[in-house]
Amino acid sequence: MLVDMPLDRLREYRPDPEEPADFDAFWKQTLDDAAGSPIDARFEPYDARLATVDVQDVTFAGWGGQPVKAWLLLPRHRSGPLPVVVQYIGYNGGRGIPYEWLTWSAAGYAHLVMDNRGQGGGGKTVADTADIAPDGHGSSSPGFLTRGIEDPYRHYYRRLITDAVRAVDAAKASPDVDPTRVAVIGGSQGGGLALAVAGLRDDLSAAIADVPFLCHYRRASQITDNGPYAEIGRWLKGHRFEVEKAMATLSYFDAVNFAARADCPAWFSVALMDNVCPPSTVVAAFHRYGGPAQLEVFPYNGHEGGAEYDVPRKLGALASVFGPS
């Protein structure tokens, strides 16, 4: 059943953003700090026993110069550098195993799949990247959204988003990649990260964000009890008097704010029965997106959105920005 506004009201939904005054300064400082460490991207061959795909085990310096893992998948039969799809992964998953990620290299692109630091314990895809927070963090609900909620500088997503921004640098460092043709892509948390990176970089060809997470936290925490947004409410249930403080921290990581700063072409999708990333939170980001953007609506889907059935639309999007491969 519908979990949020009907479609006609979603089309008009443009809430006031919650944006801290020093949003840009915060991120400039964060990325400048990160830029102090060289990207140091290493690409090791990985034997996945596949006949048509070359897999590389990637390590690069993410937040704090810490090692972040990724996969790079390349069609074995290739001639010269390829456009690259940089993919971010959903909540509590990780880069997993290469067999999960065969689509974009089969389509003829380089495909970098960034790992999620500290995640991967959700029982689905696993991760191989440690999360190191030298200053630690205070009380958190189980999960990642409230880890460091006492201070944006210590918040988990400051680290993960920095990793995501630098994953593009890592991809561009590969000799197999054409650094002028980079798209970011992801679903759910991966979609939120794609929007964040689109807002923080200016060298992207496209951003594809499916049923993105990390959007419009206040409303999300009021209208769903499912998925990671519910961690906010669980934390605030105990921390009754810290609602505004928590919202202030989260606003530094709100894709509604990143979207406003993006300018590359974007493709969003939203599912009207998605109780994990409710549609009004998605359209809040979509309506504020700074570049040209299209929205695909799945009226009877939940958080799975378009799944593999939406690959043709994305192949079309990539072809439109990358040109013939």
Residues taking part in catalysis:
188, 274, 303
Q: Binding to its own copies by residue 146, rule CB under 8 A?
A: yes
Cα end-to-end distance, the chain, whole Å: 41
Q: Which stretch binds its own copies (CB under 8 A): 13-21, 92-100, 172-180, 189-197?
A: 92-100
Minimum CB separation from its own copies for residue 60, in Å?
17
> Which residues lie closer than 8 Å to 244 by C-beta, 6 or more apart?
none
Between 42 and 313, name the residue whose CB sits nearer to its own copies: 313
Q: Binding to its own copies by residue 11, rule CB under 8 A?
A: no
Between 83 and 199, name the residue whose CB sits nearer to its own copies: 83
Tell me how far apart the alpha carbons of residues 87 and 72 are, in angstroms, rounded to a whole number.
Answer: 10
Tell me how far apart the alpha carbons of residues 118 and 163 are, in angstroms, rounded to a whole number.
Answer: 12
Name residues contacting its own copies, limited to 112-141 (CB under 8 A). Answer: 118-141
Q: Binding to its own copies by residue 320, rule CB under 8 A?
A: no
- Are residues 191 and 209 in contact, defined by beta-carbon separation less than 8 angstroms? yes
Q: Binding to its own copies by residue 178, rule CB under 8 A?
A: no
Minimum CB separation from its own copies for residue 105, in Å?
7
Between 259 and 269, name the residue whose CB sits nearer to its own copies: 269
How many residues make contact with its own copies (CB under 8 A)?
A: 86
Sign of the Cα torsion 8, 11, 17, 18 reads: positive
Q: Binding to its own copies by residue 21, rule CB under 8 A?
A: no
Minimum CB separation from its own copies for residue 78, in Å?
9
Q: Binding to its own copies by residue 173, rule CB under 8 A?
A: no
Q: Which DSSP symbol is given to 174?
A: S
- Are residues 131 and 157 in contact, defined by beta-carbon separation less than 8 angstroms? no
Between 207 and 317, name the residue whose CB sits nearer to its own copies: 317
Tokens linked to 168: 């593009």
Q: Which DSSP symbol is given to 242?
A: -
Tell me how far apart the alpha carbons of residues 106 and 45 are, in angstroms, rounded to a whole number.
Answer: 18
Burial level of 176, CB count in 10 A (0-12/13-18/19+)?
middle
Minimum CB separation from its own copies for residue 100, in Å?
5
Q: Binding to its own copies by residue 153, rule CB under 8 A?
A: no
Tell me how far apart the alpha carbons of residues 270 and 256 are, in angstroms, rounded to a whole number.
Answer: 15
Tell me how far apart the alpha carbons of residues 299 and 6 are, in angstroms, rounded to a whole number.
Answer: 10
Between 166 and 201, name the residue whose CB sits nearer to its own copies: 166
Q: Which stretch binds its own copies (CB under 8 A): 17-25, 32-40, 72-80, 205-213?
A: 72-80
Q: Is 91 annotated as a binding residue?
A: yes
Binding-site annotation, residues for substrate: 91
Binding-site annotation, residues: 91
